[in-house]
């Protein structure tokens, strides 16, 4: 259980607004995320399955996830519970103080270096939101569907400042591989859990 001081501190600092991508989660959302993580550990659900997912469901389709503050708390709580431990107030505060949301996308290509220099952006209405940081797999791995084409898969990961996007807006997540083209996903941030 989260220490009452931390919950009270967050309650006084931020108004209780329940939004899907919660930039300032209220104490009840914090506690619910931590409990969700503990329940996932008890059910032996892999922690990474607690992130908000988008895109294809199969190993053959591009897909990704959003690491928000609320999902980050659930994932952290799962990791701790799997070790029969609990996160400290400092662990929780580290996630709550994070200024960025992570977006991770798995894409497929025809050669091991196809993801090098890929880029990822968000578009909300006519506003283009650029990431603060982008990472990509320099060397893609063989896809589990190999020898089907495309035979390689890689991740492109970007961090976006919460203050630069609308956490309630319909959003297009676009990945631009250096080899050309665009892979996009339409995600309604107001419906992200």
- Which pTM was predicted? 0.85
Nearest of 163, 186, 179, 172 to residue 121 by alpha carbon: 172
Measure CA of the first residue to CA of the last residue in the chain; give whole Å. 21
For the chain, the structural domain boundaries read 4-191
55-110 pLDDT, tens digit per residue, is: 998 878 999 999 999 999 999 999 999 999 999 999 999 999 999 999 999 999 99
Give me the average pLDDT of each 10-residue run along the chain (193 residues): 32 41 94 97 94 88 95 97 96 97 95 94 97 94 86 96 96 93 95 82
* Per-residue pLDDT, 192: 87
User: Which residues partner with 107 through β-bridges?
Assistant: 154
What confidence score (pLDDT) does residue 103 get?
98
Contact assessment for residue 125 and residue 172, using Cβ atoms and an 8 Å cutoff? no
The pLDDT value given to residue 8: 28
Identify the pLDDT of residue 9: 33
A 10 A CB-CB count for 76 gives 20
């Amino acid at each position: 259980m989260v220490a009452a001081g931390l919950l009270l501190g967050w309650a006084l600092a931020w108004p209780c607004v329940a939004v899907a991508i919660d930039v300032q989660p209220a104490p009840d959302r914090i506690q619910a995320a931590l409990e969700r993580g503990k329940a996932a550990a008890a059910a032996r659900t892999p922690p990474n399955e607690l992130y908000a997912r988008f895109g294809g469901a199969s190993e053959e389709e591009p897909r990704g996830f959003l690491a928000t503050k609320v999902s980050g708390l659930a994932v952290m709580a799962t990791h701790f519970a799997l070790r029969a431990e609990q996160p400290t107030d400092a662990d929780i505060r580290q996630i709550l103080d994070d200024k960025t949301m992570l977006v991770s996308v798995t894409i497929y290509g025809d050669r091991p270096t196809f993801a090098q220099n890929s880029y990822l952006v968000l578009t909300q209405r006519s506003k283009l939101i650029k990431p603060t940081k982008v990472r990509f797999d320099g060397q893609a791995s063989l896809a589990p569907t190999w020898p089907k084409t495309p035979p390689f898969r890689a991740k492109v990961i970007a961090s976006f400042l919460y203050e630069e996007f609308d956490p309630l807006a319909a959003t297009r997540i676009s990945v631009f591989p250096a080899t050309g083209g665009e892979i996009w996903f339409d995600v309604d941030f107001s419906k992200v859990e």
